[in-house]
Amino acid sequence: MTDYKKYNDRNNGINTDTRTDDRDYDIINIKNLDDGYNDDDDDLAFDFLTPQESSKPYTVSEINSGIAQILELHNTLVWVEGELSGWKRYPSGHCYFKLKDERSQIPGVMWKSAAAKLNFSPSDGMAVFAIASIGVYEKAGYYQLSVHRLMPAGIGAQSIAFEKLKEKLSKEGIFDQSRKRPLPRSVSTLGVVTSKNGAALWDIVRVAAKRAPQTNIIVIDTPVQGDTAGEKIAKSIRMMNDFGGVDVMIVGRGGGSAEDLYAFNEEVVARAIYNSKIPVISAVGHEIDFTIADFVADVRAPTPSAAAETALPDTAEGRRYFEQCAARFAVGINRYFAAINDRVGNIKSSKALTYPFRILAEAEQSLDEAGGRVRQSMKSILTASDASLKSAAGRLNSLSPLAVLGRGYCVVINDGNGTTVKSASEVEIGDRVNIRLADGTVGATVTGPIETATI
């Protein structure tokens, strides 16, 4: 086993954070790559012994190491075309991902020295050409591509499908903000569409227990990845609507690769969210992950935990707010009653309540004084009025015909027609006249000649 051990020591450690592959491949044309660096290893070839040939069984580690030797000893560089998925660069500088096509996928690793030469930023869904060698990660027992050069080849099939569906739904107005509904301010029942075995559900339950433990949670266990996951997610959304009584619904799952999340990019899921009568919060993957479901949902949360925090108001915060309001109300009430007490105290110490009889006596005295002033005023008014009346009567009396009669004059009235005789020519001998004197009237008959007097 000496030769095997020598080979294994040189190649052990694939897919660990401490190993780096410092081989330098500067040749871009795959046809010109030198694959002769394994020529000297022919004497290191390892073949598994049959049970008849072996004196003891192989360990699992020996099986994996042997496969690695067989695979890598005769391996040349390969040129691979595929679509990136699950691309992630670790703090060590190494990058891990998968290359896939429509039928299959293979894990890949790009060590720090090779990754440092990248002249673009790889991302999920990107179609690439890779120059790689095929290796084995012995610890986990799977083979992988050790990529030495990576070049962009265009947009991957899934990315093209994603953009086409996004454009189609956008034209239909399914993403319009105007149709999205606000979340309810109070939630008594929360609906969750996710896998009961995933971490996303327990993240939601943990947040709900902390923020709003009184909330009812309705969970529809749903596969969230796989070929039929899209249809089942859509069906669960419809079931949640049919169930009734749900205030808001979270639809999502935890993180994963692009293909793991792809069910949430299917049109059937988008239309189920669009047609939901219940407001929907999407919570798919991590903050950097975006799916079609995120664009359709009423609210997009970066993680399932954030979705629960968005859906459920913090009752502890609400309780603190209520306590603050109650404290302010108590202060206001105390101030109000303190003011009332001050007013009552002022009234109790007032003169009216302390010396009521004195107030009454003073009031009677004031009334008497006012009555005296009224009587004096009335007397003065009457005296002045009497004097004024007598003066007016005197003036009227001086103008009265009776006053003239009192001085010896009389008024002669023709008894026949009742007219006042003003001239001697107005009567004839024999006419009856009445003579009005100051103190009475006498009757007379005209007997003498009528002469006109000259004054």
Q: Convert the pLDDT of each residue in 335-354 to its tens digit.
A: 888 888 888 877 777 766 66
∠ Cα 399 405 409 (to 5°): 120
What is the rounded distance in angstroms from the CA atom of residue 278 to the CA atom of residue 173?
19
What is the rounded distance in angstroms from the CA atom of residue 196 to the CA atom of residue 308?
16
Strand partners, 135: 144
- In the predicted model, residues of the chain with pLDDT beneath 70 are 1-46, 74-76, 154-157, 315-319, 321-322, 351-355, 449-455
Which pair of tokens denotes residue 179? 């149709």
Question: Residue 255 in contact with residue 197, Cβ under 8 Å?
Answer: no
3-class SS shares of the chain: helix, strand, coil, % to 5:
45, 20, 35
| pLDDT at residue 318, rounded to an integer | 64
Residues 6+ apart with CB under 8 A from 269: 230, 233, 234, 237, 251, 263, 292, 293
Q: What's the N-to-C CA distance of the chain in angstroms?
A: 190
Where residue 322 falls (left for φ over 0; alpha for ψ -120 to 50; beta otherwise) is alpha
| pLDDT at residue 66, rounded to an integer | 79
| pLDDT at residue 193, rounded to an integer | 96
- The SS3 call for residue 271 is helix
What is the rounded distance in angstroms from the CA atom of residue 301 to the CA atom of residue 294?
8
The radius of gyration computed from the CA coordinates of the chain, to the nearest angstrom, equals: 61
Question: Residue 280 in contact with residue 292, Cβ under 8 Å?
Answer: no
Q: Are strands 280-284 and 248-253 parallel, antiparallel or unpaired?
A: parallel
pTM metric for this prediction:
0.46
**Percent of the residues in the chain that have a pLDDT greater than 70, as a whole number:** 83
| pLDDT at residue 355, rounded to an integer | 67
411-414 sheet: strands from edge to edge: 411-414, 432-436, 441-445
Cβ-based neighbour number of residue 236 at 10 Å? 24
Task: Tell me which residue of 231, 215, 214 sits closest to 223, measured CA to CA.
Answer: 231
What is the rounded distance in angstroms from the CA atom of residue 236 to the CA atom of residue 278?
13
Task: Tell me which residue of 401, 432, 440 sits closest to 414, measured CA to CA.
Answer: 432
What is the rounded distance in angstroms from the CA atom of residue 130 to the CA atom of residue 146?
9
Q: Which amino acid is at 265?
A: N
The position carrying tokens 């099939």 is 157
Helix (H) or strand (E) holding 97: strand 95-100
What is the rounded distance in angstroms from the CA atom of residue 433 to the CA atom of residue 426?
11
Which pair of tokens denotes residue 73? 């000893």
Question: Residue 284 in contact with residue 264, Cβ under 8 Å?
Answer: yes
What is the rounded distance in angstroms from the CA atom of residue 250 to the CA atom of residue 219?
10
Which pair of tokens denotes residue 347? 């009234």
| pLDDT at residue 363, rounded to an integer | 78
Question: Residue 284 in contact with residue 261, Cβ under 8 Å?
Answer: yes
The position carrying tokens 């990107």 is 126
Q: Which amino acid is at 385?
A: S
Question: Residue 25 in contact with residue 131, Cβ under 8 Å?
Answer: yes
What is the rounded distance in angstroms from the CA atom of residue 280 to the CA atom of residue 248?
6
Which pair of tokens denotes residue 174? 């399914």
∠ Cα 123 102 273 (to 5°): 70
| pLDDT at residue 204, rounded to an integer | 93
